[in-house]
Structure 1
Amino acid sequence: MKQILLLVTIFYALATTVVYGQQNTKDKLKKTKIDHFFTCSLDQFIDTIASRLDITIVYERDSLSRMDVNEHFFNESMQAVLKQVCNENDLQYWIENDGTVYILQQPDDLPRLQQLYKLQQTARNFTPKRIPEAKHAPKHFMFALTGRVTDQKTGEALPGATVKVRGTGLAGQTNTSGNFTILNIPSDTSVVEVTFVGYQPDYFRLDSGSVKRPVSFGLFPAMNNTISEVSITGRKKGVLNTDSRKVSVLQLTPAALNKLPNIGERDIMRAFQLMPGVSATNESSSGAYVRGGTPDQNLVTFDGFTVYQVDHLYGFFSAFNSNAVRDVELYKGGYSAKYGGRLSSVTEIRGKDGNKKEANIGGDLSLLSTNIYAETPIGENSSALVAFRRSYQGPLYDKIFGQFNTSTANNGPGGSGGPTGAAGGGMGGGPGGFANQTTPSSYFYDLNTKYNYAINGSNNISWSFYNGADKLDNSREMTLPSFQTSSGGSLNINDYTHYGNTGSSLKWTTSAGKLFGSTVASYSGFFSDRNRGTTGTITDSNTTTTINNGILEKNKLRDFSLKSDWEWQIASPLKIDFGGFATKQSIDYTYIQNDTTTLIDEHNSGTTAGGFVELEIDPNEKLHIQPGFRTTYFSPTGKLYYEPRLSLTYKLTDRITLKGATGRYYQFTSKVTREDVAGGDRNFWVLANDQNIPVGKADHFIGGIGYETNNWLFDVEGYYKKLSGLTEYSIRQQGGGMGMGGPFGGGTTTTTLTQNFYNGSGYAKGLEFLLQKKAGMYTGWLSYTLAEAKNKFENYGADYFPANQDIAYEFKAVNMYHWQRWSFAATFIFSTGHPYTAPVGTYTINTLDGNKINYLSVSAKNGERLPAYHRLDLSATYDLLRTDGSKKGSLGFSFFNAYNHVNTWYNEYYISNNQVITTVVKYLGFTPNITLSLNLN
């Protein structure tokens, strides 16, 4: 009955209400005739009517884009045409007093659409914009247009925005600083269309001033409930996006991260783990395992300085505060000659400059951490941002680590354990899973600051600073189980780890017509200190053995760099990128056992310097070719290293793109794995020396095809990487044994154990599939990766063996649904288990000084595999709005590992009474979290 009454009210109002705006729209609909054949979606049809009549039509694009119009209208009025199309699709329309037309799917849609439209107008977040008429006849022709695209509310640059000249094939994309150049503009009255993911598209008409000075285009952020009256130029984008002109590139804006489930808070690194080719099964690391590579083979930069440690709190957080990040790009392989020094991939993170329009304060509060930031303009030409984050041991922290430490009394072989420390910043362990354990005392913090100063319209200077650290104290008392002939014992374990990063950069950007430059001077420092000692007794039926030993690890890295990159738009089809770089590094690593035996003592320094040149060639609208060349001088070897690169894309049709890339890559600084079968592998940073630590080398070969529409993307890529110069440190003895360090060495380790850096080669190959729905109330993607990563070290045998990060196949399903102010998400991950080396027995060697050392006899290198990994994560986010309709924050609920499947992380082993005891270390079970995010403006 209410619907019938509302219908009567609507039709009565249509027949009797006559005001100027309403009557003007009616007159246009009646008087304007149309003779045209339409074969398009209904939203495109409505956009055509709105454009021709210069009226505002409000509707829900997501729904109407799924309806079609296939009709030839013969000189009929717009009113008759609109009425006929609405009837055929079971729709109605309403003309408001001000002349706005509302397309209704249900009669009771009207109040909701009116309210949303009103809120968006008030917030200036949805302002119906007409393309301004030209103020003069064209005076200038075929000129170069340079400018910048920014966020209209904050003044932040928008890299990757599309700038297109209407009615022509001329288009360009903004670079990392938001700048663009388009040559051969037809006239100074042309209309420019500007679009960017997460922002409303806008239109700007040029004038004579556009020839003389750089232009500035500001876009308004799109609201979640945007009802668009204009069609979006180009492809629609989702949470994680690809670039059709680049090979193996993923793009991300942190503003979209709250749609995804998380453990602690929005995390840019973990978001990438949900895409094909990036492993998602390493819960203990936020680092990127990309296409069979390790995290150290992924170059990570923040505002130009290199970040060497990307984890916080056992990997539950990444080192990057999303409130300080503007945008991120991940190059999965075959990347530009602009980047070097890594074998696998590049993650380039750009920080926010700070709000240039008004002061703003905001932050996030979860059950694991607190996060606050402030940004403000300083005068007319500068801005600043400060962001601080710290974890605390609240109820969720205790729950998480309580799960790791939960065990039954007298846990024997096959028990469960948990994280017991981190060497080099990663999670690591000694034995876990026994009674009398305590929750680790741990916390992290990080601080981001940035100052940005615009010297003039063409020159800008920014200073960025980062400092973050973790302190992990996992000291505890452990009671050993009693079984068979052993009567148990007790151990006191002192386990303290402290690691962190410091980074800073000073950046100057300049633009002069067709030339744009960026010069960065930076410093990056990393340290990791670990002190672990064990005292106590082990008692069996015959003897009592006293344990008193330990290890001390120190790893320190310092990096001073200077880099200058330039872009020169020579002509419409040709752009040249070139630049130079120089880096001075020093790395120290010591590994001392029992306070006296130094097993590893590396103190190295070196300089890398060189340059690159790269062409971006567009012979036509379909083909994009990007050949490049990079050369590097490395002082420790005294050699030059040459790195040719090539990538290309070809648009077979408007929707189908072919792509390929190849290149050579060298790595001079890497993390070496220190094999530890008993307690879990460690790793540490070293500098190549062309002796026992060679320079790493990789050759990439990539090919793929993509099919993309406004709403869908289907992408397939295959890759092959050939690797050499791989290094691993091990204390294996000839014959397959491995010395037992740590608390269960069975005696004092002697100096007969020396440095053993083993060198090898390898390969990684795979096939990746991605199906993504990018637009609508329901979005998400399915991805599947079939891959293989194998290494070969002569010391481990003549055959290839699975690399530690080898995953045969991995499936991911990401589902997101938006309904009014709610966003729901579910992600499911399934993959094969990681390979590992297992002990098969023990033996004892009597040393010359009368001591005994127990050794593990191990299986083939990585000859075993952990069980398959799978989990489901869920989240719900509710947007908090101000009275004017703008977003002031959100309340998020996340449920990590919703069905509580406990996945195996790794196995630990120790020897008691010449028997190998296994401890199974597990990942997190079901873990809920709540996050409140707020901002002042």
Structure 2
Amino acid sequence: MVRKLLTSIFLCVLTCSGLQAQQRLLSKVIVNGFYTTSMNFVLDSLMSKYKLKIVYDREQASRVGISERFVEEPINGALKTLCRQADMHYWVDADTTIYIVKSQEDVRLLKKKAALDNVHPEVRSMRVRTETVANSEVIPKVDKAFRLSGRIVDQISGESLPGAVVSVERNNIRATTNADGYFTLANIPSDTCVISTSYVGYIPDRLSLKHVDVSQKMIIGLSVARNSLEEVEIKGKRNDGIMSTDKRKVSVLQISPAKLAELPNLGEKDIMRSFQLMPGVSASNESSSGAYVRGGTPDQNLVLFDGFTVYQVDHLYGFFSAFNSNAVKDVQLFKGGFSAKYGGRLSSVTDITGKEGNQKDWNIGGDLSLLSANIYLESPVMKSGTLLLAARKSYQGPLYNKLFNQFNKTTTTATPNAGPGGGRGFGGATAVSTPSSYFYDLNAKYTVNIGEKDLLSWSIYQGDDDLDNSRDITLPSFLTTSTVSSGPSITDKTTYGNLGSSLKWSRRWNNKLYSNTLASYSTYHSDRNRSNTMSVTNSDGIATEVTSGTIEQNKLQDWSIKSDWEYQASNKLKILFGGYGSAQDVIYKYSQNDTSTLIDQNRKASVVTGYAEAEYSPVEKLQFKGGIRSTFYDQTKRLYYEPRFSGSYLLTDRFTINAATGRFYQFMNRVVREDILSGSKDFWVLANGTTIPVGSADHYIMGFSYETDKYLFDVEGYYKNLNDLTEYSQRTTGNRRSSTLEEHFYNGRGYTSGVEFLAQKKAGKYTGWVSYTMAIARNQFDAYSADYYSANQDARNEFKSVNMYKWNNWTFSATWIYASGKPYTAPVASYTVDNVSGNARTYLTISGKNTERMPAYHRLDLAATLDLIKVDSRKTGSISFSLFNVYNHTNIWYKEYTIYNNQVITSNINYLGLTPNITLSLKWK
């Protein structure tokens, strides 16, 4: 009995020693490298480079293709990844020999085979490596120019990377991956070539084709650039920044969602707001995450999410965008002169591609800040599918209270009357508000590969806001009378949201032809009740409540189908073509005092579009892109032609000039409803060709850039001519009631022009950029003025400084923004007139259109982000600390006016002051 016990203890000690040896092996060996070859080549390389003992069935391993990049990956993680692709398992013996097997029984068989051959595993491995080198010519040798096609994916998740640049070194052969990550390179020289790949926010890579079977489709994986990685010297341009510009494309910005946490943020990492830090995109619209691009308004920016149109891109009064960054893979902003593939907007295009989910392993993660929480889940489904789920919701925490209590901190003054019945007035009115608001959004996406050529994906998004900014105004004693004894109670409730979905079929017909066909549905709704309730006492001493105000309802539905095709004729010529059809239904109701309906519109329209475009590079340094888009709009029964053209020329390897021009039409407008008292509001309407014409714009863009491995200097000038703009206003008709729609719409024209300067440091521990935009936006409406006046979004000067410094696992950032004050129209005084029926009417005397300007806008934001790294060098999350508006500068959002007892009470609605925030981001794997 004692002998058995001692034997058991001895075996346990041996087992523990073996396990400890295994753990030491698995924790100490860190794998780095990129492999695109068969599994036996990979295992041989690991044995040679890291002095490992690996035993495996060579015949089985040679039939498995591997395309993986390992960055600071522990050996157990690398083996797990390799075995998953080969449908095998790994076993580490007590003597640290690694066995790659189908089952545990295979370990015994491999040991027995090694004993029979009287060969030690390490010696056997050396022999295998020698045989491998000798048989390296099994790869078919190419003795003439060949074509190479493949796909660029995320190394960890396997998701495709759209917009990645693939090129042949020391050659002009270059391609950009499409929406699903595919690329094709033609006429590659037969001698040994090196393929370079780069993607914003990822580590660039180089791959030799010497031992690659070029007749097969390649899968190249890239890894996210992390702070903890040592800087790698790579020949070519680094592209691991947060944002990038492509010197061969005109006015295009691309963003890396994976790097957003490094920037200062208000509540959480925000995709749309990050674009505001670049030149040409206004950063002083703190209350809107919509893009004001080169003097355009947010409705003139086409926003696509997985192919369907998103009409409202704001949450919580615009302080946050409607897009959860954990559900976004790629974002591109075209600031002007964009491709014939896009249409229906006058200013810009924001094209967002949602994440597909991890193809290799399930994962769960999320973010928690002082304002909101979100969670996401991604997982493979069966063998060829992926699923992504994401949800986000705000809650009433410290930052929430800070955000909405700003509405209580308004500067309120009373303006004396200058007309009949007026009297002098002084400041003192105060507003008391208890806001109760929230938002939520949901994302879901399922993607499945059907064979090697077909890909299906279904995406859905829903986001809603419920905002309540109701408040009571306490009047000063000089404004109270015997009939009006107390201030008004203001009801200000708004609900709005989006629902969108798309079903996309992608097919790679062959190495030259690729197509995307998509059916989508999108809807938007907005309901607002803004009314004033005041207690009035009559001569008999009886108090009654008098309610006045406005009620608005806006609902939009959009059904569409489109098909986009790409034909890669050669490296010099690429042809894009496709078709698009949509049907819209828009409802808008606008009522006053619950009794008088001023607008009651329900209009339907449809458009049918076709386009064709060619990208041509006749010589190495010159590239042209020309195309035409034609649209039939059933409301006007007209065909609208939109020619587009852009070009770039590389004067040297570092110096590029580019230019673009084109015509653009917009058939659905978010019309500005000028409301002097409560601030301008917008609503969507369809153009009818008469009172609401089809808007048009002509773009003229020219610029140049100078780029090195570490620096980028870019200058771009633009001019946009705008025609058939529409605005809705009642101010020129006094308080006259009307049940007709057209009577209150006014048409005009405008132009925007400006110059943008950017200096960026792209590489090193310190990175960042400074930018300056000098811009003009002016309109001319006959109803307001015979001359041009400053548009609402006019910001003459904007300066931005973005600075980031990396130290170990920390990233420190600082952003400073300065912008000229925006114009506005203000009431000068009010007066009362008795009409023929004896009823008193109050009217406003107002300033000229947008002749007043707000004070200059400026703020400083600071942030520090700590990457949370496991002992195996994997990033599992981050914690961010941020300070918004560090020196607590008061920036005015807009002015609101209220008339009581013939006095104009002015309230300055301010942006946020000093606001701290903490955001914790975690993921399971």
Would you say the 8 A contact 2:599–2:741 is kept in 1?
A: no
> Structure 2 CA distance, aligned partners of 1:838 and 1:139?
75
- Residue number in structure 2 paired with 1:20: none
Deviates more, 1:181-190 or 1:435-444: 181-190
SS in 2 for 1:399: helix
Give the equivalent residue in structure 1 for 2:436. 441
Offset, 1:856? 0.8
Preserved contact between residue 410 and residue 910 of structure 2 (Cα < 8 Å): no
For the pair 1:239 / 2:214, whether they are aligned, the reply is no
Per the TM alignment, residue 849 of structure 1 is displaced from its structure 2 partner at its CA by: 5.2
Q: Which amino acid aligns with 2:488?
A: L
Aligned to 2:146: 143
In structure 1, the partner of 2:354 is: 351
Structure 1 residue identity aligned to 2:730: I
- 1:790, CA displacement in angstroms? 0.4
C-alpha RMSD of the superposition: 2.8
Name the counterpart of 2:517: 519
Separation (CA, whole Å) in 1 of partners of 2:513 and 2:650: 28
The superposition leaves residues 511-560 of structure 1 with CA deviations (integer Å, 9 ceiling, x where unpaired) of 12101111111000000011233222368999999532232110000000
Per the alignment, residue 569 of structure 1 pairs with: 568
* Correspondence for 2:857: 869
Residue 933 of structure 1 pairs with residue 907 of structure 2: no
Report the CA distance between 1:491 and its aligned residue: 2.3
Q: CA deviation at 1:436?
A: 6.2
- Asked if 2 retains the 8 angstrom alpha-carbon contact of 1:300 and 1:306, the reply is yes
Q: Taking structure 1 as reference, are residues 321 and 433 closer, same or farther at Cα in structure 2, changes over 3 Å only?
A: farther
> Which amino acid is the alignment partner of residue 900 of structure 1?
N
Q: Is the 8 A contact 2:201 2:242 kept in 1?
A: no
Larger deviation, residues 309-318 vs 210-219: 210-219
Aligned pairs for 1:103-114 within 5 A: none
Q: Which moved more, 1:300-309 or 1:599-608?
A: 599-608
Q: Which residue of 2 aligns with 1:469?
A: 464
Structure 1 distance, partners of 2:491, 2:200, is 50
- Counterpart of 2:666? 667
* Other structure's SS at 2:340 match: coil
CA deviation map 1:623-648 (0-9, x unaligned) = 11001100000000000000000000
Q: Does 1:395 align with 2:392?
A: no
Report deviation, 1:839.
1.2
Work out whether 1:413 is the aligned partner of 2:410: no
1:895 aligned residue: 883
Deviation, 1:755, is 3.7
Q: Which moved more, 1:497-506 or 1:180-189?
A: 180-189
- How many angstroms does 1:239 deviate by? 1.2
CA drift of 1:365 comes to 0.2
Q: Name the CA distance, whole Å, in 2 between partners of 1:207 and 1:757.
A: 67
Q: Which amino acid letter does the alignment assign opposite residue 792 of structure 1?
A: Q
Give runs of aligned pairs for residues 274-293 of structure 1, distance below 5 A: 274-293=277-296
Q: Quick check: 1:154–1:355 contact (8 Å CA) kept in 2?
A: yes
Q: Of the candidates 171, 174, 181, which is equivalent to residue 174 of structure 2?
A: 171
Amino acid aligned to 1:562: I
SS across alignment from 1:799: coil
- Paired with 1:186 and 1:515, the residues of 2 have a C-alpha distance of 22
Using the alignment, how far apart are the partners of 2:356 and 2:50 within structure 1?
43
**Alpha-carbon distance change, 541 to 264 in structure 1, aligned in 2, over 3 angstroms:** farther
Deviation at 1:136?
A: 4.6
Moved more, 537-546 or 720-729: 537-546
What secondary structure sits across from 2:160 in the alignment?
Answer: coil
Please, which moves more after superposition, 599-608 or 488-497?
A: 488-497
For 1:625 and 1:233, locate their aligned partners in 2 and report how far apart those are by CA, in whole Å.
24
Q: For 1:507, which of 501, 504, 507 is the aligned residue?
A: 504
Give 1:254 shift. 0.5
Contact in 2 for aligned 1:414/1:919 (Cα 8 Å): no
Query: After superposition, what is the alpha-carbon deviation per residue over 1:284-319, rounded to whole angstroms, capped at 9, x for unaligned?
Result: 110000000000000000000000000001112100
1:438-587 equivalence runs, <5 A: 438-483=433-478, 486=481, 489-511=486-508, 512-537=510-535, 547-587=546-586
Does structure 1 conserve the Cα–Cα contact (< 8 Å) formed by 2:429 and 2:905?
no
Q: Give the superposition deviation at 1:508.
A: 0.8
* Partner in structure 1 of residue 273 of structure 2: 270
SS state of the match for residue 361, structure 2? coil
Equivalent in the alignment of 1:60? none
Measure the CA separation in 1 of the matches of 2:187 and 2:777.
48
What does 1:875-914 correspond to in 2, within 5 Å?
Answer: 875-914=863-902
Displacement, 1:562? 0.6
Deviations 1:789-832 (A, max 9, x none): 00000111210010000011111111111111111111111111
Offset at 1:237?
A: 4.4
Equivalent residue in structure 2 for 1:335, among 330, 333, 338: 338
SS at match of 2:179: coil
Match of 2:299 in 1: 296
TM-score by length of 1: 0.81
Query: Does the CA-based 8 Å contact 1:524-1:560 persist in structure 2?
Result: yes
8 Å contact kept, 1:490–1:538: no
1:12-50 residue CA offsets vs partner (Å, 9 max, x unmatched): xxxxxxxxxxxxxxxxxxxxxxxxxxxxxxxxxxxxxxx
Pairing 1:160–2:163 present: yes
- Name the structure 2 match of 1:819: 807
Q: Cα deviation per residue 1:858-892 (whole Å; 9 max; x = unaligned)?
A: 11100111111110111111110111011000000
The one-letter amino acid of 2:292's match is: Y
Aligned partners of 1:826 and 1:669: how far apart in 2? 39
Are 1:172 and 1:181, in contact at CA under 8 Å, matched by a contact in 2?
yes
Q: Provide the C-alpha distance between the structure 2 equivalents of 1:134 and 1:580, rounded to a whole number of angstroms.
A: 47
2:257 maps to which of 244, 254, 258: 254
Match runs of 1:20-99 below 5 Å: none
The runs of 5 or more residues in structure 1 that have no matched partner are 1-55, 57-95, 100-115, 416-431, 741-748
Find out whether 1:924 has 2:919 as its counterpart. no
Q: Is the 8 A contact 1:188 1:211 kept in 2?
A: no
Give 1:413's aligned amino acid: A
Distance 2:75 2:384 in 1: 29
- Helix, strand or coil: the match of 1:356? coil
Q: What's the counterpart of residue 655 of structure 2?
A: 656
Counterpart selection for 1:200 from 190, 203, 206: 203
Displacement of 1:455 after TM fit?
0.4
Find out whether 1:733 has 2:721 as its counterpart. Answer: no
2:715 match: 716
| Aligned residues of 1:668 and 1:696 also touching (Cα < 8 A) | yes
Aligned to 2:791: 803
Q: TM-score, normalised by structure 2?
A: 0.82
Inter-partner Cα distance in structure 2 for 1:400 and 1:626: 46
Q: 1:928 to 1:701 in 2, by over 3 A?
A: same
Shift of 1:930: 0.5
1:740-796 Cα deviation digits (max 9, x unpaired): 9xxxxxxxx787998410000000000110011111111111110111000000111
Please give the alpha-carbon distance, in whole angstroms, between the structure 2 residues aligned to 1:518 and 1:117.
Answer: 33
Q: Secondary structure at the match of 1:818?
A: strand
Cα distance in 2 for partners of 1:433, 1:908 equals 15
Give the corresponding residue for 2:682: 683
- Structure 1 stretch 214-223 or stretch 203-212: which is displaced more? 203-212
Rounded Cα–Cα distance in structure 2 between residues aligned with 1:903 and 1:346: 29
Aligned-partner Cα distance in 2 for 1:274–1:523: 32
Give the superposition deviation at 1:134. Answer: 6.0
Structure 1 counterpart of 2:532, one-letter code = T
| Contact 1:361–1:373 (8 Å) recurs in 2 | yes
Change (3 A) 1:520 1:188: farther
Output the amino acid matched with 1:508. W
The whole-number CA distance in structure 2 between the counterparts of 1:202 and 1:912 is 68
Distance 1:228 1:909, change over 3 A: closer
1:846 to 834, 843, 846: 834
**Tell me, which stretches of 5 or more residues in structure 2 are unaligned?**
1-44, 53-69, 82-131, 417-426
What is the CA-CA distance between 1:915 and the residue it aligns to?
2.4
Cα displacement string for residues 580-603 of structure 1 (whole angstroms, at most 9, x for unaligned residues): 000100101000111121111121
Distance 1:753 1:710, change over 3 A: closer
Identity %: 56
